[in-house]
Amino acid sequence: MAIGSLYTTLGRFDQATLYLEAAAKVNPDLPAVNLVLADVYLKQQRADAAIIRAKQVLKTEPKVVGARLVLGGAYLQKKQVDLALTEFQQALALDPKQPVAHLSLGTVFEQKGKTEQAIAAYRKAIA
């Protein structure tokens, strides 16, 4: 997993995927591997794969904020704005000061045409 995480940090997502998928085969229920792999899939615009991995994390670790953020991001990629909204709200319920969750919530509100709510969420993201 360490090599996969290193490649992720370097932005070499294809190589990261190879190592992370191998690690996931050895430990399919390990939340850390699934979370990093879900994030890589999200960065590769592979929303369906990201959703599967993020949900796998949440099945055993429902309070992992990062999994909620990845899941919400994947739903945004699929234009499933209401599902994304739910995930970002759940992330904020777990960590009310999470800036990425506020930023993402602002994006959702902006897409829904709720300008004032989007501005409020963006302000919380930078507060």
Question: pLDDT, tens digit, for every residue of 108-127?
Answer: 999 999 999 999 999 999 98
Q: What share of the chain is helix, strand, coil (3-state, %, to 5)?
A: 80, 0, 20
The single-letter code of the amino acid at 5 is S
pTM: 0.91
Distance CA 78, CA 48 (A): 8
Contact 88, 108 (CB under 8 A): yes
pLDDT tens-place string over residues 47-63: 999 999 999 999 999 99
Distance CA 126, CA 40 (A): 25
